[in-house]
Amino acid sequence: MKISVITPRYALAGVPLAQFRLAKALSLLGHDVILIVGHVNHGYKLPNVNGIDIQVLEKKRVISMINPLVKHLKNYNPDVVFSAEDHLNAIILLSSIIARSSAKISCSSRVTPFDTYSNKIFTKRWNLKQLMKLIMHRASVLTCVSKDMVGQYKVVFKNPPHICIYNIVVDSQARLKMMDLVDDEWFDDKDIPMVIAAGRLAPWKGFSDLIYAMRELNRSTKAKLTILGGGPLKEDLELLIKELNLENVVKLMGYVDNTLKYFKKADVFVLSSHVEGLPNVLVEAMMCGCTPVATDCPTGPREVLKDGLYGYLTPVGDAVAMANSIKTALQNPIPKHILEDAVDPFSERNVLQSHCQSMGISNTSFFPKNSSNEDRP
C-alpha cells in the first residue's frame, strides 16, 4: 500500500516522534511510505530513516501546507493518510476534498480539545471548530490518544465519532536503545536511589514542584533526581536548585539523544505535569523498568496507570504529596512483569492492529505476508 504520514514539524517532542515511529513501523511491514514534515524546528536535524522518503515542506504555518498537500495527494495518490494534531487534521481533510482524493484518512488528536476549540464567536479557535464540523465526515477515522480525551471531544462536539488509539511506544528498536551504556559518574553510586524525569523545561511540566518534592523527600529518605530535557525554564530551575541547596541532589542533564538508557538506570520515574495528552514518556519509563509516580492531571496518567494499579498517582502541584508518593514507590517498587502488562497496549503490534481495524482495511492488505516486522499480529 502507498501510505503518507504527516506531521506539522520535526522536533524531539511527542507528536513528531510518534509519527516517525508510525512511519517506520509501516515501512517495516513492506508499505511504500512517505513522511511529510511541515518544517524542522530550529536546532534540530532530521534523522535518516531507512526505507522512508522524508519530504520537508519548509512551511512553519500549518495553513500554508495546504497547496503542497493538495499536490501530494494528486501526484502520489496514497491509499492511506495518517495525520496528527487538530490544525493539521483540518488542513489534510480540506486538502483531500480539494484534490478529490479517495485515500482513507486517519486523523489523530493529541491534546485536549478544550485548548484547541472555542465557543467564542469569530476567534481562530471558533473558526477551526466550525471548519471541523463541516469536514470531519471526510475522515475515515478520528482518533484520540487517550480514552479521557475521547470523552472531552463528546463535550466539545455533538456526537463526535472519535475513538481511542494509542501511540506506538514499545517496539524492538526502543528495547535495544534502552540497553545502551551510560557513562556518567552521577549514576555510579548504587547505594543512593535514582529518581528520574524527562520533558521540556516548561511551566506545565511541573518540574519546580518535583524539585520541591525532592527537598521534602531528602528530609527522611536519601535520593537523587535527574531531569532530562531543555527549555525556557532552565535558568529558573537552576536557580531554584541552588536556593534550596540541592546541587548534590538534583541534576539538570539537558538534552540527551537517548532517554531510554537513562531510564534503565533509574529506580523511579516521576511525571510532574499539570496537563498532558497521553504521556508517551511515562510509558517509555515503565518499559525500562522504572516504578512510575505521576500527577493525576488531565489527561492520560490515570489511564496509563489503571487508576493506580500500575503505579502511584499524586495530586497536581502538591510537592509534599509527591514526595510521599516517591518514597512509597522506592519502598514498594512495581514488579517488572506487571510493568510489562501495563505497556503492552502501546506495543507496535497492538497499535497497528487497532489502526487496521478502525479503517476497515483487511489484514492481508495491512500486514503483507512478506513483512519482516517481528511484532506483526
Q: What is the pLDDT of residues 332-351, one digit of tens each?
A: 999 999 999 999 999 999 99
In terms of domains, do 15 and 159 share one?
yes
In terms of domains, do 310 and 202 share one?
yes
In terms of domains, do 95 and 230 share one?
no
Determine the pLDDT at residue 215.
98
| DSSP per-residue string spanning 284-330 | HHHHTTPEEEEE--SSSHHHHTGGGTSSEEE-TT-HHHHHHHHHHHH
Determine the pLDDT at residue 375.
45
Tens-digit pLDDT profile for residues 53-109: 999 999 999 999 999 999 999 999 999 999 999 999 999 999 999 999 999 999 999
In terms of domains, do 332 and 358 share one?
no
**Of the candidate ranges 38-52, 96-110, 247-261, 324-338, the one whose mean pLDDT is the lowest:** 38-52
In terms of domains, do 267 and 121 share one?
no
368 pLDDT more than 80: no
Residue 323 placed within a domain? yes
Domain count, the chain: 2
Residue 371 placed within a domain? no
Measure the CA–CA gap between 40 and 279, rounded to whole angstroms. Answer: 22
Check residue 243 and report its DSSP letter: H
Determine the pLDDT at residue 14.
78
In terms of domains, do 31 and 84 share one?
yes
In terms of residue numbers, what domain contains 209? 177-343
372 pLDDT more than 60: no
Determine the pLDDT at residue 266.
97
Residue 116 identity (one-letter amino acid): T
Written as nine digits, the cell of 191 is 547505594
Check residue 41 and report its DSSP letter: P
In terms of domains, do 191 and 338 share one?
yes
Measure the CA–CA gap between 278 and 296, rounded to whole angstroms. Answer: 12
In terms of domains, do 195 and 236 share one?
yes
Residue 28 placed within a domain? yes
Contact 224, 186 (CB under 8 A): yes
In terms of domains, do 23 and 132 share one?
yes
Share of the chain above pLDDT 90, in %: 85
Q: How confident is the model at residue 11 (pLDDT cuts 50, 70, 90)?
A: confident
CA 102 centroid distance within chain: 29
Residue 360 placed within a domain? yes
Residue 377 placed within a domain? no
Q: How confident is the model at residue 249 (pLDDT cuts 50, 70, 90)?
A: very high
Contact 4, 347 (CB under 8 A): no
Closest by CA position to 336, among listed 375, 288, 300, 265: 288
Residue 372 placed within a domain? no
Neighbours of 40 (CB within 10 A): 16
Q: How confident is the model at residue 317 (pLDDT cuts 50, 70, 90)?
A: very high
Residue-averaged pLDDT of the chain: 93
Determine the pLDDT at residue 377.
42
Determine the pLDDT at residue 373.
45
CATH (domain of 99): 3.40.50.2000
Determine the pLDDT at residue 40.
93
Residue 134 placed within a domain? yes
